[in-house]
Structures are given as structure tokens and as C-alpha cells.
Structure 1
């Protein structure tokens, strides 16, 4: 398999899918990355862990419908063109 733009896009799609399927109660809380309500007060910068958790929540919320569409298009392209 050659390294093309299409394979790069497929790899990015797989990474976004991996982030989208992470579940807080089943997986993330077991490794200590569960819901943290003590994010901080005014003027305090959130830590790296809370920023990553916000990114994971945002990807799950915002990218749900676009991921379904992009995954469907990718499957159809793979079926048509191998």
C-alpha cells in the first residue's frame, strides 16, 4: 500500500473514530480520566488532562453526524474502487 493523500485521510479518520468511541464510564474512569467537576476557578488555566477531556467530549458531541457521513462515504469508496 502506497503512502497517498487518501491513506493519510483514512488514518486521520481512524484516529477521530477512536476518540469518538471512548466512553467515560467504561474506559476513561478506569484509568483516572473520568468526569472532573473541580476544573478550577476564575483566572486559573485548566490542566492538560482537563483540556484533553474537553477535546474528547467536543469530538463526541460535534463530530457525531459528520463521522457517520464520512465513514459511509469511505466505505462506499472502498467497495467501489477497492
Structure 2
């Protein structure tokens, strides 16, 4: 039974990190630091070397990952949060 304690902590950490990504506001937070979808700092085409800039490519992938996580995990995350709350109330 002792080996299940790290697994429970891993589940809590995962749920908390998903909650943190899910509540990020693209208008209020991400756009201010230049990570919005329509940010003027991100490149929309090709640079003079014929390819995308490495930094812009990584940044755009992170922005796409954040928006994908927000869209895909919205409804399941509500159910998981309710499950964690009920678990903590009953067995806390």
C-alpha cells in the first residue's frame, strides 16, 4: 500500500498543472507576454533564410499546445476535479 502514495501525488500534480494551463487567459496573460495567437512578435511566414525561425517555431508550438490542452481537457477536467473533491471529502 505504501507504493500508492507517490502515484496519488503524481495524479494531484498532473491535475493541478492541467488546471493551471486550462485557466490561462489568452487575452489577459498570453498576449501580454507575446504568446497569443495573433501576437505581432510571432512570424507568420518565412524569414530571409527560407525557413521559420527556430525560436518562433518552438514558441508557436507551445502556444498551439496550450490552446489544444485548453480545448481538449475542458470537460474531462471538470469531471476529474469533481472526482478529486469528492475523494478528498470522503476519504481525505
TM-score (norm 2): 0.75
Answer with 1 or 2: which has the greater Rg. 2
Q: Which residues in structure 2 correspond to 1:67-78 (within 5 Å)? A: 67-78=77-88
Matching residue of 2:26: 24
Gaps of 5+ in 2: none
Matching residue of 1:13: 15
* Structure 1 contact 39–50 (Cα < 8 Å) conserved: no
Report how many residues are paired.
79
RMSD: 2.0
Matching residue of 2:74: 64
* Structure 1 contact 33–49 (Cα < 8 Å) conserved: yes
CA distance in 2, matches of 1:39, 1:49: 12
CA distance in 2, matches of 1:39, 1:73: 42
